[in-house]
Amino acid sequence: MSEQIQQELDVDRFTLGLVGPDQEWAGTVADGGTVRTHTPPACWGPMITPEFRGGHEVTRPIRVENAEPGDALVVHIKDVEVTSVATSTGSMAEREDAFGSDPFVDHRCPECGTEWPESVVEGTGEDAIRCAECGANASSFGFEFGYTVAFDEDRSVGLTVGPDGAADLAERADEAMALPDNSRQHPILLYKPDEIPGTLGHLRPFIGNIGTTPSVEFPDSHNAGDFGQFLIGADHDWGLSDESALDARTDGHLDSNDVRPGATLICPVEIDGAGLYVGDLHANQGDGELSLHTTDVSGRTELEVSVIKDLDIDGPLLLPNESDLPDIAKPYTDTEREAGDALAAEHHVGDVVDAAPLQIIGSGATINDATENAFARAGTLFGMSEGEVRARCTFTGGVEIARLPGVVQLSMLAPMDLLEEQGLAATVREQYDL
């Protein structure tokens, strides 16, 4: 790792599916500096490439000046640009003979038994990924139901194509997916699925996997409370003994479609330098990611990073674009404040509490577990009982599903004095121009 602190850092190297303190650093960016990335698609490409130890291909970790355990890292998402011209996606089918206990992690050749075998491409279709050792189909995944999407020049819409279009894109898969030079995945366009042709979709790009490095190593796709369940009792190097071992996660695998340009993410710092990593850009996704996968693409990001000292959180906080907030969690208008002051005078209430939007990310085995996790994180952050958290979120917020089976965004209008106490007020005011 270079010790040079850069005001602007460009990152173009990626991991083989793992995040943790032993990964090679990408470089060091200044507190207040800018990070730019060009990342390959994840997760379908890494899923079908048996060399990977996790389901995503994300950047090497980025060291941030001044970031120490017990701090928080503020990530302003300035831009997300899709560089792929097409992708394939859908719901997955597992090839049970090509992995051990987890099809995302412990790949093995079904014929020669080589673990995480090197692989080559022979032709196109779901049998194109071959073990370099013996020639067998070595991919752990196929499609249960799949489709291929071509994008317009502006990346504003995508159209699903039929067999001819999918076959053409498969023949030029690397080029169409715009794989960066240092990517090591096979492009999912090779599989050429062709269901639901002629379906037009709106595009709204966002970052699916972005966060800070946990203090122990995880497969990157499993750095969350729902996908992390696959690790409990697993018979591989990243298996966990019980649920409590998942507490080391940093929930970088969010798949929230609100993590897009204009949003601000606040992440826990668990290792010196924070270890920010980025990947898994999506061209679009409905709430919940109901197929478990969506339109994975290559793309560029521009991020501004800064450190909040002594903000000890165990999961991310999100400040979405105001337009993405639930209506009752948006900042008060001047008219609403005036009406509130009038009600306070009429009903003998003291000052109206100044408050501002905040989302607490929760994750767990199910949506209910993820919501309970978000309640607990909010209570710890603000010193509130679960009853008070539930009350404030019912009256001034709500819960939204980022991903099934278990990632949620818990919104509330948080009292400004509590935001001040935690060192969050300045960031929140900047986000919402308060």
User: What is the DSSP code (8-state) at residue 214?
Assistant: -
**387 lies in a domain?**
yes
Side-chain-side CA neighbours of residue 330 (13 Å):
11
Cross-strand partners of 401: 408
Which residues are CB-contacts of 385 (< 8 A; sequence separation ≥ 6)?
Answer: 379
Distance, in Å, from the CA atom of 260 to the CA atom of 207, rounded to the nearest integer, reads 6
Q: State how far the Cα of 39 lies from the Cα of 421, in Å rounded to an integer.
A: 37
72 phi, psi to nearest 5 deg: -130, 150
Does residue 341 belong to any structural domain of this protein? yes
Q: Are 67 and 134 in contact (CB under 8 A)?
A: no
DSSP secondary structure string for all residues of 163-204: HHHHHHHHHTHHHHHT--TT--PPPGGGG----STT-EEE--
Q: By the 8 A CB rule, do 251 and 316 touch?
A: yes
Cα 24–Cα 277–Cα 269 angle in degrees, nearest 5: 95
pLDDT at 3: 73
Domain assignment present for 337: yes
Question: 22 in a domain, yes or no?
Answer: no
**Is residue 409, in this structure, part of any structural domain at all?**
yes
Strands (E), 12-156: 18-19, 27-39, 62-64, 72-82, 86-94, 119-121, 129-131, 141-151
Look at residues 61, 57, 47, 60 and name the one whose alpha carbon lies nearest to residue 105.
Answer: 47
Neighbouring CB atoms inside 10 A of 429's CB total: 14
Q: What is the pTM (predicted TM-score) of this model? A: 0.97
Asked, for residue 161, whether it belongs to a domain, the answer is: no
Domain count, the chain: 1
Note whether residue 302 is domain-resident. Answer: no
Vertex 427 angle, CA 422 and 428, to 5°: 90
Q: Which domain holds residue 401?
A: 322-432
Stretches where the chain sits below pLDDT 70 are 1-2
Asked if residue 358 belongs to a domain, the reply is yes
pLDDT, the chain, mean: 97
Q: Which two tokens stand for residue 327?
A: 């209506």
* Whole-number pLDDT of residue 202: 98
Q: How far apart are CA 129 and CA 140, in angstroms?
A: 10
pLDDT at 164: 98
Res 1: pLDDT: 43
Task: Show Cβ contacts of residue 251 under 8 Å, excluding neighbours closer than 6 positions.
Answer: 211, 223, 224, 225, 315, 316, 361, 363, 407
